[in-house]
Chains A and B, each alone.
Chain A
C-alpha cells in the first residue's frame, strides 16, 4: 500500500518496543462483541492507475459545461479562472497546512487571509470581513443570527426574491433557536413590501441584489427605513462579479453583506466547496461569526498576522460562542484572493462590464424570439425568461441538443404557482457569440413547436 511505509518487520519491532505481542492488543478497549475480525465488504486496495480510470469513468457520464454552451447560474456561475490560481493553491504549503494556530510558521495563510478580508471589505463597501464561511447560504443564516444578537431582537424578514436555498438554509438554521423568520412569498414581478411588518421588534431585513430573478434595485431607501426602527439591513450577493459594475451594498447602507464568492477563482465542482463571504460594519466586529485574522507584531517588532478575537469562538466560549463554526473555506478563499489580485481594479471592473455586455446582447437576441419574453428591466449577467412551455421540459430538450440552457425556476420553487415557464439564463465572459446563437436557435424551435 503506497501511502503507508511500515514493513512487516518494522511493525513487529514497534510492537515489541511497545511491549505487546500483536496489534490486537492495542484494540482491547473495543468491546469484544463489536470487534471486526474480517475485512469490510468492500473492494480491496487499488493501484493509482485503476483509481484514475474509475474516476475518469464517472466524469465521462456527465455533460461538461466546458464542452457545451452553458447558461447556468442560480447561485453558481461559470467564469474563466486564470491558470495561475489553481497552480498556486496546489502549492503544498497552502494545500496541506492546517488552520494557522501556530502563527510563526503560518504567515503565508495568515497574510493571505488578511488580504482576503480586505478585498471582501473593499468590494462590499464594508469596514471588515471575516476569513470566510462555508458558502453564501450558511453565511446568510449566520447573518440573521448575528443581527438578532446585535439588536437583541428575535425576528428577521426575508425578501421574496432571496435565492430559495438561502431562505431554506436560514429557516433550517434558526428553527430551533429563539429566533424566527418571516419569508415573503416569491413574486413574479418582484413587487413586495418589506416594510409592512418592519417595526421595533425586527432584527433585520434580508434582501438579495441582484435578486434571484436577476433584478437590481437601489436599497438605500430600504436601508433608511430599517435604520429608523433600529433594524439591520442584510444584503445577499450571489454573483460577486456584479460588484465590479454595481454600487456596493455598503454604499447603499447595508449593515451586513453576505455572499457567495465562488465566481472569483473557484470552480463549479457540482456545487461545492465554495466560499461564503461575510462583511459588516466596524461596530459589529465582536458579534461576527467565524475566524478573523488580525495584524500584530512579533518580539522583534516585525509585522505579522494572527487569528484573533477568538474569545467569540466555540473552542473558548463553548455553548456561549457566537457560532458553532470551526472550519472556514480556507483554500477557496485563497483562490478567490489570488484571482482578485490578478484582476485588480482595472480587471475587476472590466470583467464585470464584459459580463453585463454579453448578457445584455444575449437578452436582446432572446427577447426577439416570438413567444419568448425577457421579464427583467434591470439585470447584471442573469435574467429571467418566460417561455411558452414549461422550462423544465425546455431544458431537457436543450440538453438533448448538447446545450445547458439555464435553470428552471420551478426546480428551486416547485410549489409556487405561475413559475413553471420561467427560465433563469446567465451569460458570462465564457460564452461566445456562437453559444448564444445556438441557444437562440434552439429556443426558437422549442417556442414554435
Chain B
C-alpha cells in the first residue's frame, strides 16, 4: 500500500475540458504545488556551508552508505513551495475562526518578537543557571501571573499541552492518594467532557465512569453523588463546560468530592471566559491545566506546539513534577531532580524545563493586557458569544436555556427533514469565507454546532457572521435544495475529501514511483 506512484503534477489529475479547467491545475491566485519529493534536481542545494575538514572518521564503521532519498532544491524553490502551501490554509489572521472550545483569538506579534529575542530564543536548556537568571525570572514571573489569575498556590510549568497538563494533574492526584496508602480506582467524568479526559484517566490506571448531564446542560449532581464512594479518586470537570455553560453547582461538586477524600480536577480549556471574574481556587479546584495556546494567545501553529501549565492546590503541590524554579533573595535556581520524601514529586514529564517559547509569548500577552485587560477579555468573549446566541436562536435551537459563557451552542433540530446536516452547513460556511464552528461536539447534543467568537472580533464581523448563518439556515429550511449544501465547499482549494478511503488503505508517505 505504500508503493503507489504519484502523478508528477497536480494538473495531471484535474485537467479537463470544461470551462473551469486549466492546463496547470492552478486557478489564478489559487496556486498548486506538487509534493516536495516531486520537485528538485540532483545536484541543486538550498543551503551553502563550508567544506568539512579532512579528519579520521570516528563513526566506528557505521557510515551511512545508502542515499536517504531527499530531493535537492534551491532556496527560492523551497520558498515558493511553502508560500504556495500556506495559501491553501485558512487562518485567524485572514478571517473569522469561531471554532468552539479552541479559543481562536488574535495572536499579537510582539509575542513572536519577544520569543525570538537574543537571550530568550537562543539560550540552551543546560547552560549553567548562573547564565540564565533572566530566563528563570521570566518563568517565575509567569508562574506568579498564573497563580494570581487562578487563585491557586502552586503551578507545574512543564506540561507541553492541554492533554499533557491533564496527565500532570491526574498523576498528582494519583501520587497524593498513593502517598496516603489509598488505592482508589475510579475517576468520574461528565459525558460532555473532551475525549482527552477519559484517555488521561485511563493512562493513570483509573476506571472512567461517565456522569450524565442534566436538562440544563450541567453535570447531574444527583447522579454524581450516587456514584461517589471511598474508591473515587477524583472528578474531572470542565468549567465553563463544553456546552459553553458555567457549572453553577461547582462548589457543591467540590465539597462532595472532597467529602469522600477525592480531588477536583478542572479542565481549564475554557479559562478565557472567567479571567478576572472568578478564580478556580475560590471554587474548590485542586488542579487545573491552562492552555497557554488558547487563553493566552500563543499561536496554534496548525496543531501545536502548545503549553499546558497546571495550577495546584496546597494538597497536591508537593507532588508536582520536576523541574521547578526556586527563588531565594532574587537569585534563581532550578530543582531538576526528584527529592526523596513522604510527599514527593511524581517525576518528570518532558525533557528540560517546559515550553519556554510559549512562556515568553504568554507573559508578553499578560503584560500587554494587565489585570484590567484580562477581565475585559472574559467580558468581551462572553458578550460576543451571547450576541451570536441571540442573533441565531430564533432560527437555530439552543439546547439549553439562559445565558452562555464564551461559546454559543446549537443543535441540529431545526435542520430536521431538510436533507441538510450540520456538516453541510459547516462546508457551506467555508464558501462564505469562514472557518466552520466545532461540529458534533459536545457529544451530548445532537448535531452540535459550537461557536466561540472570542474577544478579538468586531461587532461588524459578528453581524456579518450572524447574517451569513441566517442566510444558510434559511436556505436549508426553505429552498428544498440539499444539493447546494452537499456540493459545498465549491470555492475552497479542494472539494470534499474522501476520508473513508484515506482510512481504509492509508497512504501515509510519499514513495518513489517504480
With A323-B199, A324-B166 as known contacts, state yes or no: A344 contacts B278, CB within 8 Å. Answer: no
The stretch among B110-118, B221-229, B411-419, B475-483 that forms the contact with chain A is B110-118
Residue of A nearest to B93 (CB): A92
Residue of A nearest to B133 (CB): A61
Which residues of A sit under 8 angstroms from B112, Cβ to Cβ? Answer: 90, 95
Is A23 close to B, CB under 8 A? Answer: yes
Whether B277 contacts A27 by the Cβ 8 Å rule is yes
- In angstroms, Cα B507 to Cα A121, docked, is 13
- In angstroms, Cα B92 to Cα A133, docked, is 24
- In angstroms, Cα B88 to Cα A349, docked, is 32
> For residues 9 through 62 of chain B, which have their beta carbon under 8 Å from a beta carbon of chain A?
10, 13-14, 25, 33, 35-37, 40, 42-47, 49-62
Whether A3 contacts B108 by the Cβ 8 Å rule is yes
A83 CB, min distance to chain B CBs, angstroms: 9
Whether A414 contacts B89 by the Cβ 8 Å rule is no
Q: How many A-B residue pairs have C-beta atoms within 8 angstroms? Tell me.
A: 730
Whether A272 contacts B357 by the Cβ 8 Å rule is yes
- In angstroms, Cα B506 to Cα A100, docked, is 18
Whether B383 contacts A26 by the Cβ 8 Å rule is yes
Is A29 close to B, CB under 8 A? Answer: yes
Whether B368 contacts A42 by the Cβ 8 Å rule is no
Residue of A nearest to B114 (CB): A55
Contact of B501 among A297, A324, A361 (CB under 8 A): A297
Contact of A329 among B13, B42, B305 (CB under 8 A): B305
Whether B86 contacts A346 by the Cβ 8 Å rule is no
With A218-B62, A319-B198 as known contacts, state yes or no: A325 contacts B279, CB within 8 Å. Answer: no
Is A20 close to B, CB under 8 A? Answer: yes
Is B259 close to A, CB under 8 A? Answer: no
Residue of A nearest to B159 (CB): A134
Residue of A nearest to B280 (CB): A34
With A93-B93, A269-B357 as known contacts, state yes or no: A342 contacts B161, CB within 8 Å. Answer: no
Is A18 close to B, CB under 8 A? Answer: yes
Residue of A nearest to B105 (CB): A3
Q: Quick one: which of A39, A61, A166, A310 has the most chain B CB within 10 A?
A: A61
With A97-B90, A272-B355, A302-B13 as known contacts, state yes or no: A63 contacts B127, CB within 8 Å. Answer: yes
- In angstroms, Cα B248 to Cα A305, docked, is 42
Interface string of B199-211 (1 = CB under 8 A from A): 1111111001000
Which residues of B sit under 8 angstroms from A411, Cβ to Cβ? Answer: 126, 336
With A34-B278, A274-B351 as known contacts, state yes or no: A304 contacts B163, CB within 8 Å. Answer: no
Whether B106 contacts A3 by the Cβ 8 Å rule is yes
Which residues of A sit under 8 angstroms from B430, Cβ to Cβ? Answer: 102, 104-105
Which residues of A sit under 8 angstroms from B200, Cβ to Cβ? Answer: 324
- In angstroms, Cα B37 to Cα A343, docked, is 13
Interface string of A222-260 (1 = CB under 8 A from B): 000000000000000000000111111001000000001
The stretch among A122-130, A146-154, A197-205 that forms the contact with chain B is A122-130
Which residues of B sit under 8 angstroms from A300, Cβ to Cβ? Answer: 14, 495
Whether B303 contacts A100 by the Cβ 8 Å rule is yes
With A62-B120, A244-B64, A354-B49 as known contacts, state yes or no: A111 contacts B35, CB within 8 Å. Answer: yes
Whether A318 contacts B305 by the Cβ 8 Å rule is no
Which residues of A sit under 8 angstroms from B248, Cβ to Cβ? Answer: 29-31
- In angstroms, Cα B437 to Cα A38, docked, is 34
Whether B126 contacts A407 by the Cβ 8 Å rule is yes
Contact of A59 among B134, B321, B377, B489 (CB under 8 A): B134
Which residues of B sit under 8 angstroms from A245, Cβ to Cβ? Answer: 59, 63-64
How many chain A residues have a CB neighbour from B under 8 Å?
Answer: 219
Is A41 close to B, CB under 8 A? Answer: yes
B216 CB, min distance to chain A CBs, angstroms: 10
Contact of A270 among B81, B135, B204 (CB under 8 A): B135
Interface string of B409-442 (1 = CB under 8 A from A): 0000000000000000011001000011000010
With A61-B134, A104-B492 as known contacts, state yes or no: A342 contacts B73, CB within 8 Å. Answer: yes
Which residues of A sit under 8 angstroms from B457, Cβ to Cβ? Answer: 5
Which residues of A sit under 8 angstroms from B380, Cβ to Cβ? Answer: 4, 6, 11
Which residues of A sit under 8 angstroms from B274, Cβ to Cβ? Answer: 30
Is A131 close to B, CB under 8 A? Answer: yes
A166 CB, min distance to chain B CBs, angstroms: 7
A290 CB, min distance to chain B CBs, angstroms: 10
Which residues of A sit under 8 angstroms from B14, Cβ to Cβ? Answer: 300-302
Whether B299 contacts A88 by the Cβ 8 Å rule is no
Whether B195 contacts A321 by the Cβ 8 Å rule is yes
- In angstroms, Cα B390 to Cα A27, docked, is 16
Is A448 close to B, CB under 8 A? Answer: no
Is B181 close to A, CB under 8 A? Answer: no
Contact of B118 among A46, A64, A171, A244 (CB under 8 A): A64
B404 CB, min distance to chain A CBs, angstroms: 8
A163 CB, min distance to chain B CBs, angstroms: 7
B330 CB, min distance to chain A CBs, angstroms: 11
> For residues 441 through 496 of chain B, which have their beta carbon under 8 Å from a beta carbon of chain A?
441, 455-459, 489, 492-496
With A67-B118, A270-B124 as known contacts, state yes or no: A134 contacts B350, CB within 8 Å. Answer: yes
Which residues of A sit under 8 angstroms from B514, Cβ to Cβ? Answer: none
Is A389 close to B, CB under 8 A? Answer: no
Residue of A nearest to B164 (CB): A134
Whether A268 contacts B123 by the Cβ 8 Å rule is yes
With A324-B167, A376-B58 as known contacts, state yes or no: A273 contacts B199, CB within 8 Å. Answer: no
> For residues 364 through 388 of chain B, which have their beta carbon under 8 Å from a beta carbon of chain A?
364, 366-377, 379-380, 382-384, 386-387
Which residues of B sit under 8 angstroms from A117, Cβ to Cβ? Answer: 508-509
Residue contacts A-B, CB under 8 angstroms, 25 given: A4-B373, A34-B278, A40-B276, A42-B145, A48-B110, A52-B113, A60-B134, A63-B127, A80-B49, A84-B46, A88-B83, A98-B99, A107-B85, A108-B302, A112-B302, A127-B2, A177-B203, A272-B352, A291-B303, A303-B13, A319-B198, A340-B70, A346-B45, A361-B55, A399-B131
Q: A96-B104, A270-B132, A326-B163 are in contact. List 9 more A-B contacts (CB 8 A).
A: A23-B382, A96-B299, A172-B171, A218-B61, A269-B356, A273-B304, A273-B307, A273-B357, A356-B59
